[in-house]
Amino acid sequence: MNRTSGELARHLGANLEGDANLLLSGVASPEQARAADLIYVDSPRHGARAESSAAMCVIAPPRMRLRAKTIIESSEPKLAFAKAAAWLLPRATPAPGIHPSAIVAPAAQVSGSACIGPHVVIEDSAVIGEKSVVQAFCFIGARSRVGAGCWLHPRVTLYAGSRLGNRVELHSGVVIGGDGFGYVFGEGRHWKFPQVGEIEIGDDVEIGSNTAMDRGSLGLTRVGSGTKIDNLVQVAHNVQIGEHSIIVSQTGISGSCTLGNRVIVGGQAGLGERCHIEDGAIVGGQSGVLPDKKVRSGQIVWGTPCRPLDRFRKQFAWLERLPELAARLRRLESGPLKEDRDCS
């Protein structure tokens, strides 16, 4: 969709310096951009990249000037660029309707404005909201609810009773509402603990490919509105995740953990059962949070077992020096021993 630089500036509520009639048709990096593409820079140190780019329009910090470029000023260029991309390149929505190969139970409720793709299965009493898209080979279990404006990419599975809010996006291979990993050992064998709880996903949540989220064992697993979860994440039963949090790929969250609002968990982190991550805390990549551990609000922790970032850095610095320290220790130990031998 072609828009002008002036229209974009008005859409963003931003000041424009330069030609308000430039046509914009896409977004790109400075190195890959064409003349009609929009680019951004978030610091004067990247000015040379923008000036050498073929793009004619740049989102840049206020008072930053670039030779022969039209500038849309923003104190948060990356955020403005994301908003601009969504406005310039709106996602095409498939036409509403149910594909002939889809299997829809008579008791299911599917909005007339929803799009149901090939070979989708929708079981009894499931509900699909307005303008939602359910792509090929998805499975929507009995009594599941999909809100308005959701997008389920191919091969998403919702177990029975799963509940999605509005504008939820689930990428390929996501499994919502499977049984948690709960067993009790007795009489020489493992007995399965009941996994009969529920799972609820809030509004504007996005979950990456092949992530699995278990239903509650007896209670509720819940993800708050605005939270974003990467690919290949495991969320166990009874986990509570707050609003606008970020969970990066290959993280494992054990049963009954609670994560507050605006929490960030780095890739490959492991959270032990019943740990509590308070609002605004950050758990670094590959960190291990021990069971029942509490990470305080706003705290940054790293390492296994996790510890405050400043302490982790100091300990890691000493760890890097271990070969040198070991050599010094060997010299210190060998000196007195040699003297003792000489005295004898």
Which residues are known to be catalytic? 237
DSSP string, 87-151: HHSPPPPPPSEE-TT-EE-TT-EE-TT-EE-TT-EE-TT-EE-TT-EE-TT-EE-TT-EE-TT-E
- The secondary structure element, H or E, covering residue 164 is strand 163-164
- 166 contact partners, CB below 8 Å, separation of at least 6: 129, 147, 148, 149, 150, 203, 204
What token pair was written down for 256?
């009954």
Q: Are 24 and 6 in contact (CB under 8 A)?
A: no
Q: Are 59 and 79 in contact (CB under 8 A)?
A: no
Q: pTM for the complete prediction?
A: 0.90
Average pLDDT across the chain, whole number: 95
pLDDT tens per residue, range 293-322: 999 999 999 999 999 999 999 988 888 888
DSSP string, 279-343: TT-EE-TT-EEPTT-EE-TT-EEETTTTEEHHHHHHHHHHHHTHHHHHHHHHHHHHHHHHHHHHH
What token pair was written down for 204?
């504007």
Distances (CA, A) of 324 to 118, 314, 328, 335: 64, 16, 6, 17
* pLDDT given for residue 342 in this prediction: 53
Report the chain (344 residues): mean pLDDT per 10 consecutive residues. 92 96 96 97 93 97 93 97 96 94 98 98 98 98 98 98 98 98 97 97 98 97 98 98 98 98 98 98 97 97 94 89 88 68 50
In DSSP terms, 212 is beta-bridged to 175, 234
- Residue 199's SS3 state is strand
Instruction: For tokens 């039963």, name the residue.
Output: 237
Q: Are 240 and 273 in contact (CB under 8 A)?
A: no
- Residue 76's SS3 state is coil
- The secondary structure element, H or E, covering residue 5 is helix 5-12
